[in-house]
Amino acid sequence: QLQKDLEEVKELLANATRKRVRDVLLAEKQKLELEIKNQPLPKPKDVTEEEKSSLGGYTVKINNYGWDQSDKFVKIYISLNGVQKLPAENVQVNFTERSFDLLVKNLNGKNYTMTFNNLLKPISVEGSSRKIKTDMVLVMCKKKREEKWDCLTQVEKESKEKEKAVYDTTDPSEGLMNILKKMYAEGDDEMKRTINKAWVESREKQYKGDIPMDI
């Protein structure tokens, strides 16, 4: 507003011919220039708050997803209500040969992230992509080799192998023993009483010669 007043005074000054009028306008011009010079600059804080509101609020880690695979791709499905309404640049996925991370910015005032490290097998960074669908983001990881994946990550594979080792052993009686030990450790009092009873009865039968000792 002050700048507009100054411009108008300058126009009047350019057209003024009488000394007294010119003096008054000159004084007003100097006064306006001084006021403009002394105006406070916008606070950086205000700009920061505006930027913050445009980028969204706090960040939420995504834990729920579904996945399947074809010969060429591993597909990860992440449900996010309203994600299709965002600008495409707000949905970003960065791929490496053995990982990817997803960032969805400013969806309903929040940012969403998901990271997968140590993928089970290598993927092609150039061939991988993401698709935005209604209430869903689909991450497409292109397999480097067309082979079946048993799970998504190396950690999942190791966990499955440990679980399998409890039940799978070359000695059948040892395998049964491992299963009983696991059931006993994880079971409630009733389960423990049942296992104890079965164990005592089994030992009694062995002593009586009802069943061979090596079973």
Q: In this structure, are 94 and 125 located in the same domain?
A: yes
Q: For the residues of the chain, what is the DSSP string, one character each? A: -HHHHHHHHHHHHHH--SHHHHHHHHHHHHHHHHHHHTSPPPPHHHHHHHHHHHH-S-EEE----EEEE-SSEEEEEEE-TTGGGS-GGGEEEEEETTEEEEEEEEETTEEEEEEE-SBSS-EEEEEEEEEEETTEEEEEEEESS----SSSBHHHHHHHHHHHHHH--SSHHHHHHHHHHHHHHHS-HHHHHHHHHHHHHHHHHHHHTSS-TT-
pLDDT tops 60 at residue 42: no
Strand arrangement, sheet containing 110-116: 59-61, 110-116, 99-107, 91-96
pLDDT at 33: 81
Is residue 12 in some structural domain? yes
pLDDT tops 80 at residue 185: no
From 109, 110, 132, select the one nearest 60 (Cα to Cα): 110
Where is pLDDT greater, at 23 or 130? 130
pLDDT at 75: 96
Q: Could you say which of 143, 158, 178 is where a domain stops?
A: 143
Total of domains in the chain: 3
pLDDT tops 70 at residue 10: yes
Q: In this structure, are 137 and 91 located in the same domain?
A: yes
Instruction: Determine which of 16-25, 67-76, 108-117, 159-168 has the lowest per-residue pLDDT on average.
Output: 159-168
Is residue 110 in some structural domain? yes
pLDDT at 143: 96
- How would residue 53 be classed by pLDDT, with cut points 50, 70 and 90? very low
Q: In this structure, are 203 and 128 located in the same domain?
A: no
Task: Please check whether residue 127 is in contact with residue 95, taking contact to mean a CB–CB distance below 8 angstroms.
Answer: no
Q: In this structure, are 66 and 132 located in the same domain?
A: yes
Top mean pLDDT of 56-65, 102-111, 170-179, 188-197 is at: 102-111
CA 151 to chain centre: 19
Instruction: Determine which of 9-13, 24-28, 79-83 has the lowest per-residue pLDDT on average.
Output: 9-13
Q: What is the CATH number of the domain that holds 8?
A: 4.10.860
- How would residue 192 be classed by pLDDT, with cut points 50, 70 and 90? confident
Q: In this structure, are 34 and 63 located in the same domain?
A: no
- What predicted TM-score, i.e. pTM, was given to this entire model? 0.52
Q: Residue 130 has which token pair?
A: 């993401």
Q: In this structure, are 34 and 71 located in the same domain?
A: no
Is residue 150 in some structural domain? no
Give the model confidence (pLDDT) of 67-101 as tens digits: 999 999 999 999 999 999 999 999 999 999 999 99
pLDDT at 209: 58
**Domain containing residue 195:** 169-209
CA distances from 120 to 98, 99, 141, 197 (A): 8, 9, 12, 44
Q: In this structure, are 133 and 194 located in the same domain?
A: no
Is residue 52 in some structural domain? no
Q: In this structure, are 34 and 79 located in the same domain?
A: no
Instruction: Determine which of 50-54, 112-116, 143-147, 188-192 has the lowest per-residue pLDDT on average.
Output: 50-54
Neighbours of 157 (CB within 10 A): 15
